[in-house]
Structure 1
Amino acid sequence: MDNRRSGGRAPAYFRSNGGVVRYGELLERGLTAADVRRLVRSGDLIPIRRGCYAWRRDDLTPEARHLLLLEATRPTLGVGTVFTHGSAAVLHDLPVRITDLTRVHITRPDTSGRITKNVWRHSAPLPDSAVTEASGVPVTTIERTVVDLARWLPFADAVAVVDAALHRGVERAALEAEIELARRRRFNERARRAVAFGDARAESPGESRSRVLMAVVGLPMPQLQREFRDHNGEVDARVDFDWEEYGVSGEFDGEVKYGRLLAPGETVDKVVVFEKQREELLKTHGRWTVRWVNANLSNTSRRSQETLTFCVKFP
């Protein structure tokens, strides 16, 4: 393959270097500085950090780009470095805010905290029991990762992380024990609140944030993942939230206003029709359905509060 040519599959040396190649290697393989600039302009080369590039990908999510930044940054870090906080969350496939992915997070017990353009260095004790390996790199255990984030993140985002961990089978008691291992750490009370509020039944960060906002505006807590059955005892409907006493069901729609991520071959119109039919079915179970999206979940948004309190005021 002609490396100077834009378009097409990534050259093999990108695939064999964790997806990241350094500027010097590009020159060694025959590209000129002008070639590199042109490939960056065309979008075929993506700058990851100074002097490091990845080949374009259609599926380059913020999490995938963060892993490329981690790979590009690893050689600059000292021996014994452990990836933590947001970086550990990505490696453990936990939900993390996009704003927390612009830097690689590491923790070292023998240094002071410091923030640079690409690295956020945290300083804290790291016993061997708190360290494991994921994708071939040292990383905090999922329990330590959840507790670190629960100390550090705003409450709604911390609950989303706790919920995801509990949903995957992490024991609440293990998270509580992790907090107690460092009982004098700052913001432990934040972590305790998030762990106590966590619910393994939540299936998305949006559902977690919805529950937090419900608590903020004073709504009664709903039943999560409520199933409804037909006359044969078969499940014919399932909802994210249900307030039986009000005859109201609630649905958080993350990617599409009506429904979840589109399945192969589905269109938005088909999903809209399906969801409308589903709402009619829920009416036969005595439920009125209310929906909301991410834009409705800002704690400071008056409309957020109106949307959710509407569920209870007008069943």
Structure 2
Amino acid sequence: MFGTAAELYGIAGLPRRDEIHVALPGRAAKLARVSDPAIVLHQIEHPLGAVARVNGIAATEPRLTVSEIILRECRYAAVAVLDSALNRGLLTPECLATIPALIRGRRGAVAARGYLAEADGRAQSPLETRSRLRCVDGGVPPDTLQLEVRDDDGYLLGIGDLGWRGPRLIAEADGRDAHGTPEAAYADRRRQNRLVNAGWTILRFTWQDTLQPTYIPHTVRQAIAALRTR
């Protein structure tokens, strides 16, 4: 049900599931009759203020939705959900800081507190989150996200998804939605040419690359080592 609420809010990062989860209070849940096998009914009582309306549909409010998800999901999905909720403005850092008290004593709370510490609303897609976490796990964490590169006159040459400012290295997370059109490909090439001419090295990673734990950090480490010998 919380995954369905996340989808209503446009929060990204959860594995795709075909079911729609619906929560109803006790008596209503017992009386409800659902014939569609894609709809999964739950009997849950939500406290006052825990339910909001999204496009006319009742859903748990964003903080509760995210809190329940991170108790249940693995690290990569949980951090991606947190990043997405922050990036979309559904949660603020101040709101995020209240979640540990909300989940205290719950199963999965210890791991969830670790996920909260890794959340970063600058990530603009689950692919960026996964790429960042692979780098963190591989010992080459980026020192910034959404790195703005400007020329001497202040003109913006481009923005890199993951940045290592010392060696002047940028890693781009090439998702299908953002980079899949010919227009996007042309824009990416022009931007990359500007950044390369300004002295930056560009690496590009896809979702498939994140499925191999060592590939992204190994590639980043090799690039940094090569740049330091120049």
What is the TM-score of this pair, normalised by structure 2? Answer: 0.82
Distance 1:246 1:164, change over 3 A: same
- Where structure 2 has 5 or more consecutive residues not aligned to the other structure, the ranges are 30-35
User: Given residue 19 of structure 2, which amino acid in structure 1 is its aligned partner?
Assistant: R
Q: Confirm or deny that 1:306 pairs with 2:222.
A: no
- Structure 2 equivalent of residue 285 of structure 1: 198
- Structure 2 equivalent of residue 295 of structure 1: 208
Distance 1:140 1:182, change over 3 A: same
Aligned equivalents of 1:231, 1:302: Cα separation in 2: 37
Preserved CA contact (<8 Å) 1:146 1:175: no
Preserved CA contact (<8 Å) 1:147 1:175: no
- Structure 1 equivalent of residue 179 of structure 2: 260
Q: Confirm or deny that 1:143 pairs with 2:63.
A: yes
Distance 1:87 1:201, change over 3 A: same
Matches within 5 A, 1:83-102: 84-99=1-16, 101-102=17-18
- 1:214 shift after superposition: 1.1
Preserved CA contact (<8 Å) 1:243 1:249: yes
Distance 1:121 1:214, change over 3 A: farther
- 1:267 shift after superposition: 5.5
Determine which structure has greater relative contact order: mean sequence separation of CA pairs < 8 Å that are 6+ residues apart, divided by chain length: 2
Name which of 171, 189, 194 aligns with 2:110. Answer: 189
Distance 1:229 1:267, change over 3 A: closer
User: Given residue 232 of structure 1, which amino acid in structure 2 is its aligned partner?
Assistant: D
- 1:289 shift after superposition: 0.8
- 1:303 shift after superposition: 3.2
- Structure 2 equivalent of residue 104 of structure 1: 20
Q: For this pair of structures, how many residues does the alignment match?
A: 218
Percent sequence identity over aligned pairs:
27
Give the superposed CA RMSD.
2.6
Matches within 5 A, 1:1-315: 84-99=1-16, 101-107=17-23, 110=26, 117-120=37-40, 126-169=46-89, 170-255=91-176, 260-262=179-181, 266=182, 271=185, 274-298=187-211, 300-315=212-227
SS at match of 1:144: helix
- Where structure 1 has 5 or more consecutive residues not aligned to the other structure, the ranges are 1-83
Distance 1:214 1:227, change over 3 A: same
Aligned equivalents of 1:178, 1:124: Cα separation in 2: 20
Aligned equivalents of 2:4, 2:48: Cα separation in 1: 18
- 1:168 shift after superposition: 2.2
What is the TM-score of this pair, normalised by structure 1? Answer: 0.61
Deviation per CA, 1:251-310, whole angstroms, max 9, x where unpaired?
110118xx7242xxx458xx25x5344333213332111111110002x54434433433
Preserved CA contact (<8 Å) 2:11 2:84: yes
SS at match of 1:126: coil
User: Given residue 7 of structure 2, which amino acid in structure 1 is its aligned partner?
Assistant: V
Distance 1:171 1:229, change over 3 A: same
SS at match of 2:107: coil
Preserved CA contact (<8 Å) 1:202 1:208: yes
Asked which structure has the greater CA Rg, the reply is: 1
Distance 1:308 1:85, change over 3 A: farther
- Structure 2 equivalent of residue 20 of structure 1: none
Preserved CA contact (<8 Å) 1:85 1:149: yes
Aligned equivalents of 1:288, 1:302: Cα separation in 2: 20
SS at match of 2:219: helix
